[in-house]
Amino acid sequence: MDSRSDHHVVGRFAPSPTGALHTGSLVAAVGSYLMAKQAGGRWVLRLDDLDTSRQVPGMADDIMRTLESFGLLWDGEVACQSRHQEEYQHVFAALLQAGVVYPCGCSRKEIARSASAPHVEDDCIPYPGSCRWGMKADSVIRSWRVRVPEEEICFSDIRKGRICQRLPATSGDFVLRRSDGAFAYQLAVVVDDYLAGVNQVVRGEDLLGSTPRQIYLQRLLGYPQPDYCHLPLVVGPDGSKLSKRDHLISHQLGTVIGRESALLLAVLRFLGQDPPQKLAEYPCTAILEWGVAHWHLLQLPSRCGVVAI
Ligand code: GLU
């Protein structure tokens, strides 16, 4: 059955198997699960294994076992980006055909040099459009970029409210494919969510800035726009950003065995919910059931915070 043919909510969790889950990813998993289930919907799992060079062997399996140990059971088959290359190729060819994609010969260094603020991080420098109307005669293709529009892209985030972004000022024409053939996350995520019929994207606030690019691609491709809810980020006790290695939660490493219920309760509290302490003595499935029955969207905190066990 085509999952897009009904109107049920389809939420998803899309971890990258580049390492074990950390507290922040557990928050995204629990938040997306509860929101989908509270709406009576499905919750699907996708492994974002697009970048093969960054993958850690065994991690996909570790992530799945960890989710299971928290009672976070996904619906249907697990999707993998690595198996969607043909679909990406198809969509990329359609965009190329439509004339919105162009080859670019600029290196990161050249882009950084052309930026007015030379010290901003590479990723944050909007591409100035040097190859928009053709590459320099002697340059080689390094990537393919999509032309972005002048007008603002706006959307309403369930937690953050109305968000507007002018892509020329934030990303500029962004990369859809590299010269080695690899497709960019922005393209892959849009195609994957569409293929799975995902209509509710709940994930960490660190991805809020990517959302207008994804919405722009959805519009170009004529895809429906999912609802978005960006959750607060987990920070360290001193308010600092958690590094990817902080608070790893791994089944394989045995870091959670026996502590799942306490951690799940802490995640619910982090999400502004008010579970009774006695739930700590119950299995995760009971805690999730409580979470689904008592989920209050309006209690989501407006700020980042710590997960305190
Ligand atoms: N795979 C991405 C990550 O682990 C998340 C992608 C998404 O939620 O859109 O950060």
Res. 36: pLDDT tops 90 = yes
Tell me: the pLDDT tens digits for 108-154?
Answer: 888 877 765 444 444 578 999 999 999 999 999 999 999 999 999 99
Q: Choose one of 56, 207, 241 to mutate for the ligand 1 pocket test, by most ligand atoms within 8 angstroms of C-beta.
A: 207
How many A from CA of 81 to the centre of ligand 1?
A: 11
Three-state DSSP state, 138: coil
How many A from CA of 189 to the centre of ligand 1?
A: 8
How does residue 263 score in pLDDT terms, banded at 50, 70 and 90? very high
Q: What is the Rg, in whole angstroms, of the alpha carbon atoms belonging to the chain?
A: 20
29 Cβ below 6 A of ligand 1: no
Record the pTM: 0.93
How many A from CA of 134 to the centre of ligand 1?
A: 33
How many A from CA of 16 to the centre of ligand 1?
A: 6
280 Cβ below 6 A of ligand 1: no
Please state the atom number of ligand 1 nearest to the C-alpha of residue 210. Answer: 9
Within the chain, residue ranges assigned H as helices are 23-38, 59-69, 85-97, 108-114, 167-170, 185-195, 211-221, 260-270, 284-294
Distances (CA, A) of 263 to 29, 232, 267, 299: 13, 17, 6, 19
CA distance 34 to 300: 12
200 Cβ below 6 A of ligand 1: no
